[in-house]
Amino acid sequence: MEYVLSFLPMIVKMAIVIGVLLLLPLPLTWLERKIAAHIQQRPGPMRVGWHGLLQPLADAIKLLTKEDHIPAEADRMLFAIAPVVALVPPFLVFVAIPFGDPIQVFGTTVTLSLADLNVGLLFILAVSGIGVFGTILAGWASNSKYAVLGSLRSIAQMISYEIPMGFSVIGVVMLANSMQLTQIVAAQQGLWNIVVQPIGFFVFFVAGLAEAQRIPFDLPEAEGDLGAGYHTEYSGIRFSLFMLAEYLVLVALAFLNVLLFFGGWLGGPAFLPPVIWLFLKVGFFIWVFMWLRFTFPRYRYDQLMTIGWKVLLPLSLLNILVSGFLML
């Protein structure tokens, strides 16, 4: 019995994290529509609920009850598993993301993370790269030229931007002397990394936008020339899984920006719990990502590749060199 009870805190934490992540796209879709509406001087969703608050629920019902269409010439097995393959990596990323220092609950120390890995940052970067397989499978299995082109664009884009994204955090790891996210946050006790790693933050932020395939880097889904890219042939619940994965990647990137460069849960006012302070920072970055989507135009594909290989990669290497000199 004691052996079973020892796993109870982990089970509770897993249930909370999974439940929140599954429900998170509902408020985020409403928020994104409202941000777009205010930028473009229009009200946004207004009819379903007060100020359209129930619109995401209506969308969820629609997606759950909509016809699940599979193209006649598609590879049915790969077509079915592709959304699941795309959804699993964003969930795995949150295994290693901490939400604060350990707390005492009924005399028991509870860590505010599912697993405080000593290679947490490496785990996150490795797992996030697996998400491209869902995109590849979706494009190939759909047997559609638009979907295949979207998946090929996604592969090239992720390869181009994962390299500078990985290099951009090496300076942070050097300063903290650890890849454990709680240690990286603790190393920012007196000074946030954004002050000493501005180049690293810039590269990580821009590469993260490309990794999340958000405007101005949403070439794999460009509706102007590819319909909807790799998920053109998807509908109903399968389409919603791709959208869920996209929003989870957005939230994960917001957490990583805050944890790596903005002190995590440190530095908040005394009256504010550290967890709330962390969530406020994350919410700010989510707002920034959504604001950028409705502010910048989409780049051409050659411009996308140029930025990754000729701008961000040299900058990330320069940041490592400068960080080494500063440490000396």
Dump pLDDT digits (tens) for 42-100.
888 888 888 888 888 888 888 888 887 888 887 888 888 888 888 888 889 998 898 88
Q: Give the span between the Cα atoms of 259 and 279, in whole angstroms.
A: 11
| pLDDT, position 280 | 93
Q: How far is CA 182 from the centre of its chain?
A: 19
Which structure tokens are listed for 224? 């102007």
E strands within the chain? 103-105, 108-110
Question: How far is residue 234 from each of residues 88, 100, 209, 218, 245, measured CA to CA in Å?
Answer: 18, 38, 24, 18, 14
Burial of 65 per CB tally in 10 Å (0-12, 13-18, 19+): exposed
Written as six digits, the tokens of 86 are: 């795309």
Cβ burial 120-139 (10 Å sphere, 16+ → b, else e): bbbbbbebbbebbebbbbbb
For all residues of the chain together, what is the average pLDDT? 85
CA 241, CA 307: separation in Å to the nearest integer?
Answer: 30
> Which residues, listed in sequence order, are joined to residue 108 by a DSSP beta bridge?
105
| Sign, CA torsion 152/153/158/161 | positive
pTM of the model: 0.89
Percent with pLDDT over 90 in the chain: 18
Could you tell me the pLDDT band of residue 215, with boundaries at 50, 70 and 90? Answer: confident
The letter for the amino acid at 156 is A
